[in-house]
Chains A and B, each alone.
Chain A
């Protein structure tokens, strides 16, 4: 394993901003961290880049626990490079920027130029060798920052939202750079993103973070429900607004009290008219209150008494796009429900 994390926490001003009981990241793969803003993605990446110290717990890198003393950290940092969400380039030319990592590694001057040209070619920026770094556009800056990371031939490349705030063309280029770095250069990659589709496209493994804790994709719609009874092998419960939801008794051992329900937004089914052949259990009705698109998906928020998110693929959406205010029936199948 590349990284093994055990009971890791990071506390900032008395607040736990990261709490990961256990996590492993495999070597040689593309792994993805997904989660909303403030989920702890950047904090975790900084810890994995050995730029920050955990408040408690351990991180092992290549089966060796990390010792947080400067002498031990610097050699590790030379094997792992982090590309920031908003990368900053040093004053001077692109050449000077790419030369920095090689200089600190005391690579001979005559080898440096070849390595720099190769790295710039890899990101399609070979014509920018002598360009002033601060005059590059956002997308070009990200690509040069990737080249600056790749030129030192790291074992691990960590990227914090590599395609955030760049145009579609640069997004595609950056994704292909990451794929090539992993495929051709055999660099293990861990990147953070908001985009589920990007994660699915690129990553061999995905970790979802929410409020600093590992989560999973099925936990988008989190609701608290009160168990009110059982019947026909199902647990019956009520949401705070008295909506009735049932789930198989086998998925929960308790018979009373309050449970947390998670509805996987990708597995909820939308109907415009009452569907035939669908169980009337967990069939809710509501109006569309919000539609948000991006990264090959559309998230439709429907107010059924509680706001419920449903994720549609672009093709599903394009077939007959929902409109704000339109009435829908939502069917929440058993496989969409997780009970805690």
Chain B
């Protein structure tokens, strides 16, 4: 218990002092996770819209596959992307392994299903009359989709927030594709694992506190948006 309290005190001092190593790790985590979320949103939101708006043979199967991908373990994605970008892989010539780009690619794969399925759910909750009303008032398909987006905005934003929460806390992809290189691909979760292995609890606890703080802020935002969706539905 003493060890934990001492580590906690030291971690607080480290954070207050603005320790350089700590800031670099937090910065790397935020950068990689933010970029992965942005790219996944660029791909996942339109995909979610498309699936929600259209009917096609095998739509139910596609939804089942997307839901299954929500449970995809990070190490499986790590292995899959590793096979593609390692020297012997088909993308080996791009020299992506153990770079932030590789981590971003892996994390995009991780959260596209999250964003897509949550977008589909958010759009599907919106009354169909919004679409017909927009169309009968003269809107084209894009203007109609914008109307639906505005009505579903809290649910869609909640999807993006949930996706960011998923990637900021993952470790498998960052470790396998980033390699945990100090000052370069070391994220909060990989640094915590390393410090734990070394028996150095101070930095690990400090990172844990920051990660929990971030997770709390993300969840707070998520619940705020979810709350708005709920209150709108009433």
Contact = CB atoms under 8 A, between A and B. Distances in A.
A105 interface: yes
Given A51-B132, A77-B135, A82-B132, A88 B140 contact: no
B143 interface: yes
B150 A104 contact: no
B129 A86 contact: yes
A137 interface: no
B129 A77 contact: no
Contact of B137 (A70, A91, A100): A100
Given A84-B129, A84-B133, A88-B133, A101 B150 contact: no
B136 A70 contact: no
B147 interface: yes
A333 B133 CA distance: 47
Contacts of B232: 91
Given A84-B132, A104-B138, A152-B137, A90 B150 contact: yes
Contacts, number: 53
B63 interface: no
A197 interface: no
A95 interface: no
Which of B130, B138, B147, B150 gathers most chain A CB within 10 Å? B138
A88 B130 contact: yes
Nearest to B151: A91
Contacts of B141: 70
Give the secondary structure class of B's interface: helix
Given A91-B150, A91-B151, A101 B129 contact: no
A90 B136 CA distance: 13
B137 A104 contact: yes
Contact of B138 (A90, A91, A152): A152
Interface residues of B, number: 18
B133 A87 contact: yes
A146 interface: no
A104 B133 contact: no
Contacts of B95: none
Given A70-B141, A90-B150, A90-B151, A82 B130 contact: no
Contacts of B132: 46, 51, 82, 84
A226 interface: no
A190 interface: no
Contacts of A90: 130, 133, 147, 150-151
Given A86-B129, A88-B127, A77 B151 contact: no
Nearest to A92: B150
A70 B135 CA distance: 11
Interface string B180-218: 000000000000000000000000000000000000000
A219 to B, nearest CB: 31
A209 B138 CA distance: 28
5 contacts: A74-B140, A82-B132, A86-B129, A90-B150, A100-B137
Given A86-B129, A91-B232, 4 more contacts: A81-B137, A84-B133, A88-B129, A90-B133
Interface of A: 46, 49, 51, 70, 74, 77-78, 80-82, 84, 86-88, 90-91, 100-101, 104-105, 148-149, 152
